[in-house]
Amino acid sequence: MLLKDKVAIVTGAGRGWGQSVALAYARQGAKVIVVSRTQSEIDHTIALIKAEGGQAVGKSIDVSNDAALQAFHDWVMQTYGRLDILVNNAAVLILKDFEELSQQEIDLTLNINLRAVIVMTKLFLQDMVKQGGGSIINVSSNAGVSGFEKESIYSTCKFGLEGFTKSIAMEIRKHNIAVNTITPGGMSAGVRIKPTSLIQEAYDALPENEKKQWVDSIVSTEAFIFLGLQDGSGVSGERIMAYELSEQIRKEGWQLKYQPYQA
């Protein structure tokens, strides 16, 4: 098992991509901490992991609440004493024209999609420095390099996430810590990975011909495992295309020589 006994946090792991990553990490032997706002979704993810013999615990947290994040950090350190992998995946997407957005919706998106990533990283970075290494994985989007209609604040957050990641990657490599962004990818191969925002109930209600446009996000999780194996001596400061890298791993194995994917 590639991640045996590593401690990994996956935020937004109650469904979609986050759930797939949590399951993939558990399959590789990691001790997974499932984070979501919704307890029922946490319970479902944990049940999937434990059904396969994996290890997982869950915490219901509002990642936009600093006090909740501090308490969560303290619990992780008291319980496990370390953190090897931090996957910042939790996000919200409010599809509206900018002029229609309320201040509350703007603040919510900024707080969850960008500020919470920065705060969570700040809290756990000190522990990774002390233990001598780790991997931070920030989930981005094509909205982080291109603006999209009705996604002005979401895009703002993802652009910010890309800059934050590249900047701290240069600072923390000396501490043997890797930090990268990752996006679904797959579009060049005609693959559309089911988005986290498409909840299972909504997906189940779609007509069969519409369901066929999406593939299960588990097909892109090898890339997350690969990044979970990185430290300051490996891949850091990169923007990873998850489906493309996962396909490369399936073809070449885990000893592949990573080359940045050119879209």
Q: Is 154 a catalytic residue?
A: yes
Q: What's the Cα-to-Cα distance from 186 to each of 127, 207, 233, rounded to whole Å?
A: 34, 23, 27
**8-12, 34-38, 163-167, 256-260: segment of lowest average pLDDT:** 256-260
For residues 220 and 106, what is the distance between their CA atoms, to the nearest angstrom?
A: 30
Cβ(232)–Cβ(133) under 8 Å?
yes
Strand partners, 11: 35
Q: What's residue 190's pLDDT? A: 53
Structure tokens at 86: 């931090």
Q: How many Cα atoms occupy the beta-carbon half-sphere of 18 within 13 Å?
A: 32
Question: Which position has the token pair 């509350």?
Answer: 104
Q: How much is the average pLDDT of 240-246?
A: 92
The answer to whether 59 touches 74, Cβ cutoff 8 Å, is no
- The model carries a pTM of 0.92
Return the pLDDT at 126: 96
Between CA 157 and CA 153 the distance in angstroms is 6
The two three-digit tokens of residue 151, written as one number: 């996604």
Going along the chain from its start, the domains and CATH numbers come out as 7-252 (3.40.50.720)
pLDDT at residue 263, rounded to an integer: 47
Burial letters for 85-103: b for 16+ Cβ neighbours within 10 Å, e otherwise? Answer: bbbbbbbbbbeeeeeebee
C-alpha–C-alpha distance, residues 169 and 110, integer Å: 22
Q: What is the pLDDT of residues 39-51, one digit of tens each?
A: 999 999 999 999 9
Reply yes or no on whether the pLDDT at 135 is more than 70. yes
Q: Is the pLDDT of residue 128 over 50?
A: yes
* Burial of residue 147, with CB atoms counted within 10 A of its CB: 0-12 exposed, 13-18 middle, 19 or more buried: exposed
pLDDT in tens, 148-161: 899 999 999 999 99
Question: CA-CA distance, 181 to 91, in Å (whole number)?
Answer: 14
Annotated catalytic residue, options 25, 154, 203, 258: 154
